[in-house]
Amino acid sequence: MKGAIVYFSGTGNTEFVAKNFKDEFQKRNIECVLIDISKKKKINDDYNFYVFGCPIHSDLFPDYFIDFINNNIKYGNRRKCIIFSTQASNSAAGADYLGEILNKKDFEIMAKIMVKMPQNFFIAGFKKTPQDECEKLKKDAQAYVKSIVESFLEGKKVLNNVSNLRLVFGKAIYKMFKKYALNWAKNKLKVDMSVCVKCQKCIQNCPTKNITFDETIKFKSQCICCQRCIHGCPVNAFYFKGKRVSQYKI
């Protein structure tokens, strides 16, 4: 049996959980591959089971992730899968939204879970998670993943659903957020070129190719607010609304 863990991660929270899924399956001698969709445009859909994971962007998974799944995985053929979201709140509608899509593709959803992780969007009004709480959330996530893998292998379903009203609301809010996000970097971010070392890591890591370099760092209008550029900068050269950013490191 071989599985694939298909995920997108902006600042590292989702990747942390995805790697823990891989570790837990491998401890039980089950092969799993990690597929970071920002590094791979296409996959061979020949796995026995899937784990799908993504951070929440305004209550849903970003279309960037949903489109990848729709373009690469056409038929479930009753294969089993796990869906997880990562977010700073206790719940979100992203896993339910993807669940709707995977049900139509004829997947058997064995787990649909929401993994609470440290806040990574603190530059825009949210409160930064204290370090001791960050460590606790990470340990809780590891224990949660372990229990989900055990349930999955025992054939037990763990389905944490939100209400239909929450899902409808989430879809509406995401549509507005997506429009706002497109120009978010262009309108809100600046790079201190006296600090920037021109490594172009931000350009290489941007999932939507929204960043260019021509004497200075410039942004186009296809941002998804993943914050990879900000928190992945090796010299912390980014400014948000005129202030130096405090970077998030998981």
126 pLDDT band (50/70/90 cuts)? Answer: confident
pLDDT in tens, 59-113: 999 999 999 999 999 999 999 999 999 999 999 999 999 999 999 999 999 999 9
pLDDT recorded at residue 123: 85
The predicted model scores a pTM of 0.96
Collapsing DSSP to helix, strand or coil, 204 comes out as helix
Residue 191 exposed, middle or buried by CB count within 10 Å (0-12, 13-18, 19+)? buried
pLDDT in tens, 41-58: 899 999 999 999 999 999
For the segment(s) 2-174, the CATH number from 3.40.50.360, 3.40.605.10, 3.30.750.24, 1.10.357.10 is 3.40.50.360
Q: Average pLDDT for residues 218-237, to the nearest whole number?
A: 97
Q: How many CA atoms lie within 13 A of 221 on its CB side?
A: 2
Kindly list the distances between the CA atom of residue 186 and the CA atoms of 46, 107, 152, 189, 241, in Å, as whole numbers in the listed order: 40, 39, 43, 6, 11
Q: What percent of the chain has pLDDT over 70?
A: 100
pLDDT recorded at residue 247: 94
What's the mean per-residue pLDDT of the chain?
Answer: 96
Q: Average pLDDT for residues 169-175, to the nearest whole number?
A: 96
Q: Token pair for residue 17?
A: 């959980």
Q: How many CA atoms lie within 13 A of 216 on its CB side?
A: 10
152 pLDDT band (50/70/90 cuts)? Answer: very high
pLDDT recorded at residue 242: 87
CB under 8 Å to 167, separation ≥6 — which residues? 93, 96, 97
* Nearest residue to 83 (alpha-carbon basis) of 74, 94, 72: 94
pLDDT recorded at residue 245: 86
Q: Average pLDDT for residues 124-153, to the nearest whole number?
A: 96
* Nearest residue to 157 (alpha-carbon basis) of 108, 230, 87, 103: 108
CB under 8 Å to 217, separation ≥6 — which residues? 191, 193, 196, 202, 203, 211
Question: Domain residue spans in the chain?
Answer: 2-174, 183-244
Q: Which residues of 87-120 are buried (b: 16+ CB within 10 A; e: fewer)?
A: bbeebbbbbbbbbebbeeeebebbbbbbbbbbbb
Amino acid at site 231:
H
**Structure letter (DSSP) for residue 130:** P
Amino acid at site 156:
K
Domain 183-244 sits in CATH at 3.30.70.20
Kindly list the distances between the CA atom of residue 7 and the CA atoms of 53, 171, 220, in Å, as whole numbers in the listed order: 5, 20, 24
* Nearest residue to 72 (alpha-carbon basis) of 52, 99, 94, 96: 52
Residue 125: is its pLDDT beyond 80?
no
pLDDT recorded at residue 241: 87
pLDDT recorded at residue 156: 98
Q: Token pair for residue 104?
A: 């139509």
pLDDT recorded at residue 185: 97
* Nearest residue to 17 (alpha-carbon basis) of 127, 114, 97, 98: 114
